[in-house]
Amino acid sequence: MTFETNDAPPPSVAYSRIAAVGDLIEGKFQVQRILGRGGMGVVVAALHIHLQEQVALKILLPSKSTDRESRARFLREARVTARLQNEHIASVMDVGMLDNGSPYFVMEFLEGSDLKRLLAVLGQLEIPVAVNYVAQACEGIAEAHARNVLHRDLKPSNLFLTKRYDGSDLIKVLDFGVSKVRMLGPSDDSYHTEAGTVLGSPAYMSPERLDDSEVDARADVWSLGIILYELLTGRPPFWNTSQAVICAEVLGWKPATPIREHRADVPVALEAAIARALERDVEKRTPNVAELVADILDAVPDDPRAADGISLRRIRAALGQGSLPDIPTVGREEAVTGADNPTVRPEFLAQSESRPEPEEVVELPRDVTQPAPPPYRSVAIGLAIVVGILAAVVAGIQLTR
């Protein structure tokens, strides 16, 4: 079995022949610089000269454009991604064709770095930061799963770290080129290119993907668990220079090395959450990304950075698990306990909502040292006065008789 990935470009490709700096594509996109190169194509930064807006163009290699399956997969990626409207997924706005026949699609321009490059610099991430990045990715994947789209190629190089306008970290999920749309026929969403060839990176692929079984959303949960393990330790749990050895380890009965053996400061609860996401038996694995987020956030409840910007309510609602009460997104300066925390599970949420609201302070024209009579006492006194007046009137009428 061989694997085809998009990570390593073939050395013979002359990318400048695809799109050189200064080129004007279809009369409106002026190429500014090359952002990335891969086995399938090239990504360039370009200026939309009419809108004066910077965008990114993903262009399929001319050699791949003549391959029917590569071309279909490339265009399917554009269609699938365009359907997903979520801040954690890099948006696609348009598609087009170069003069040489290579298709391209237009994406939002992102500044930052993918997590693979970030790990190469830092080695490993702080625990709450790693949890937050994976939880953000889960929100984007929840949108995909809600639309019957499985990503199937989640790995650090496909998670991009950028910034929101307020300066907070924002994770974007990239590259739906190996995605599977479950509502489509097998001829349109098959991930095999030819006999014995599989698209994807085996270190991040679930056992059911490797043994050619039917996959569902839990395959992406597995990959996210692998990513979190790597963000915390600097290496995925199944790793070797030989792809065959990696596959054997993933498919074997021996579980991944407990993460605390590589990093002792990982909380026990977080180790258990990762182990649950990496269950080979899909029936025992974390069932969906909402539960994965709940598990990993519950494991680090004392650090607000883990839950920064995360809304478990939105994730659950996207998956059709029912809408929770409208809970504000946790900000960097907000507390992470009580009813304002969207990471609180529903059973605890019901308890926290029953807490009485603070009493309103009202200035009363009375001696503040005297307790105010309860409302029912005032009503009773009023009724007693009315009854007394009526009784006196009746008594007066009887006396006149």
Helix axes of 127-146 and 289-298: crossing angle, nearest 10 degrees: 160
My answer on whether 212 and 340 are in the same domain is yes
Question: Would you state the pLDDT for residue 390?
Answer: 52
Residue 93 belongs to some domain of the structure: yes
Provide the 3-class DSSP secondary structure of residue 224: helix
Higher pLDDT residue, 31 or 65? 31
* 235-241 average pLDDT score: 90
My answer on whether 311 and 206 are in the same domain is yes
pLDDT digits (tens, 9 = 90+) for 278-313: 999 999 999 999 999 999 999 999 999 999 999 999
My answer on whether 211 and 272 are in the same domain is yes
* 2-10 average pLDDT score: 50
Higher pLDDT residue, 323 or 206? 206
Q: How confident is the model at residue 349 (pLDDT cuts 50, 70, 90)?
A: very low
My answer on whether 39 and 120 are in the same domain is no
My answer on whether 82 and 141 are in the same domain is no
Q: What is the CA radius of gyration of the chain?
A: 30
* 234-251 average pLDDT score: 91
Q: Write out the catalytic residue numbers.
A: 153
My answer on whether 134 and 104 are in the same domain is no
DSSP 129-192: HHHHHHHHHHHHHHHHHHTTEE-----GGGEEEEE-TTS-EEEEE---TT-EETTS-HHHH--B
Higher pLDDT residue, 248 or 333? 248
CA–CA gap between residue 186 and residue 76 (Å, rounded)? 14
Phi and psi of 217, rounded to 5°? Answer: -60, -20
* 175-182 average pLDDT score: 75
Residue 78 belongs to some domain of the structure: yes
Q: Classify the phi-psi angles of 307: left when phi > 0, otherwise alpha if psi is within -120 to 50, otherwise beta.
A: alpha
User: How distant, in Å, are the alpha carbons of 33, 85, 182, 386 from that of 148?
Assistant: 35, 14, 6, 69
My answer on whether 148 and 272 are in the same domain is yes
My answer on whether 82 and 150 are in the same domain is no
Provide the 3-class DSSP secondary structure of residue 393: helix
pLDDT digits (tens, 9 = 90+) for 99-112: 888 999 999 999 99
Query: How many domains, the chain?
Result: 2
My answer on whether 328 and 281 are in the same domain is yes
Higher pLDDT residue, 152 or 3? 152
Domain that holds residue 12: 2-108
pLDDT digits (tens, 9 = 90+) for 223-237: 999 999 999 999 999
